[in-house]
A and B are shown apart, each in its own frame.
Chain A
């Protein structure tokens, strides 16, 4: 692998680099918050949530707290349910809450603008 480089090759490489496209992203691409592979932001679909707390128990960064979510009819009973509330400053956006949810009540959305955290 280790061999002396000819000066011809140096010139060839210099020319090649001069005419090749840049490696950096164009600004309009770089400013996008999400691309096709991004996981997204967890957002609750309250109609589907049954308040089982599985998301809060599994959350690695303990960013989910269960808050009262009003009355809801489950089966033929009317019960008080709790809904998850996301602390987006603690969230690591791993998407585990959406994956453990049996009701698919948490959506990972990539159509939102990025969340901005402001220090008080």
Chain B
């Protein structure tokens, strides 16, 4: 193993650990750095490199690297030490075929479809090409019965009389995005919950390896509709670190402006949805109509409401004029008034309060062990905000507070989100006042080749810490590996734990607590047959003298 060349990491410590002693190494590191950021796997030089990243809630990252052979890779599971690790390990197992000894769910898939042939090579290996992958997914004619998420037979943890395993989802009226929960119910009480995701896989990590750095930027933006800008920003931060490009100060401010507008729209969307789940439909409509103001601002700045395509490597794609900044200032003032009125009315509404207090309670220790991030973790009193501990963009120049609440239940998390919206409004007011002059648009768009090396970046989207890992190979126009760890993945572990002890009627509310974005997590594979033969027709009303350059 000494022959393996390790690319330098950027300033943080990477420790090479032999695969046998991973459990001891993690035990040691977890005493000081209890937050597991993610497990990144890379297939390079007939090895599978696993990178375990840990944080101590102050931004001092430490990494452990394990190198496994790509033939029958096997390593001990660390889910006994950190609870949240089990879901990361399942992802690595599905995508790279690494076997984790002692894993609590040894035969269950998380992301790969159940129809994916059992003996087929795992999809993210470099030896598997896109064509092969499509053939593999095409060749399967019949769906296999899904593997049980909660092992009932064999280990017989529950006696059949007292416990009912209830499938919840993937298509369920209480869920807006497809995701399956296996709920073990004793009467009406949940005793165990196991998530199964991957119903909306799009293969973004694999696709990104087949595109140039600039093209992949537009792809990663489509990981999530609500935090689309944060995805493209985090990718850009990692790419800029890898390629050694620095954006201008005005570009940093404009990026921060769009990111904070996105946070406001995401939080008001969520608070509205909370009302919807709790049976308070007027609240849903009030908040969504207030949110429309923010969406219009985003459209004015970026040209698009959802997938903004506003950021680029080295800057942003368009400047925002002073007149537009004045409109932002005016509209945000209006929104502030409106939001203040609604949030006061909503948060003083007693039935909502009663419905959310002490529902889905969890302790700070559990949240840390599950690896929870964002408002979910801050709702349990831990001030973990990447904007503060690892400042990026224009955040070092701006003053804002990290909102925390004691308690750790649906109510405390809702309060965090309401207060955070006001903080975001404060940030935007500062941006409009402080924004420096200059040209934020880069002279040329990056279309060059990569350097050898690896880089990672973290940002704080509305749902919590987002982690991107990029690996570059010298002379290549494409990234060698793009790893995305979205905030919902660790939060989902916490939600599954928080469900225990509550009734079935609380399930939608507790799942909503983490602001789940299941499509974010699903980035593996889906190939839809029959989507290719699309024909484009311009309507007849196109003026006859319009030249389209080519026959269509």
Contacts and interface: CB of A to CB of B under 8 A. Distances in A.
Tell me, yes or no, whether A binds B.
yes
Interface of A: 1-5, 9, 13, 23, 35-39, 43-46, 49, 57-62, 67, 69, 83-89, 92, 94-96, 99-100, 112-113, 115-120
Contacts of B344: 1
B542 A113 contact: yes
A112 B542 contact: yes
16 contacts: A2-B415, A5-B348, A46-B547, A49-B549, A58-B214, A58-B215, A60-B211, A60-B214, A60-B218, A85-B550, A86-B549, A92-B218, A112-B538, A113-B541, A119-B534, A120-B533
B396 interface: no
A69 B445 contact: no
Can you list the 5 inter-chain pairs with the closest CB atoms, starting with the nearest?
A: A44-B549, A60-B218, A23-B289, A85-B550, A89-B534
A14 to B, nearest CB: 10
Interface in B490-517: none
Interface in B384-399: none
Nearest to A83: B549
B534 A120 contact: yes
Contacts of B215: 58-60, 62
Interface stretch (B145-153, B254-262, B302-310): B302-310
Interface of B: 211-212, 214-215, 217-219, 285, 289, 292, 299-300, 303-304, 307, 309, 317, 343-345, 347-350, 353, 415, 418, 445, 447, 533-539, 541-542, 546-550, 552
Interface SS of A by simple majority: loop
A67 B550 contact: yes
Nearest to A54: B447
Contacts of B304: 39
B542 A58 contact: no
A61 B542 contact: no
B537 A37 contact: no
A61 B307 CA distance: 14
B189 to A, nearest CB: 29
Nearest to B216: A60
Contacts of B218: 60-61, 92, 94, 96
A39 B317 CA distance: 12
Given A43-B546, A57-B212, 4 more contacts: A1-B348, A59-B215, A86-B552, A113-B542
Nearest to B343: A1
B348 A4 contact: yes
Contacts of A69: 549-550
A100 B445 contact: yes
Contacts of A92: 218, 307, 309
A91 B33 CA distance: 45
Nearest to B418: A1
Contacts of B546: 43, 112
B447 A99 contact: no
A82 to B, nearest CB: 10
Nearest to B324: A37
Given A5-B348, A37-B303, A60-B214, A117 B548 contact: no
Contacts of B217: 60
Contact of A88 (B292, B317, B350, B552): B552
A83 B533 CA distance: 23
Contact of A44 (B347, B348, B548): B548
A7 to B, nearest CB: 12
Contacts of B548: 43-44, 86
B549 A94 contact: no
Instruction: Point out which of A35, A43, A57, A60 has the most chain B C-beta atoms below 10 A from its C-beta.
Output: A60
A113 B538 CA distance: 8
A43 B552 CA distance: 12
Given A43-B549, A49-B549, A119 B317 contact: no
A61 B207 CA distance: 11
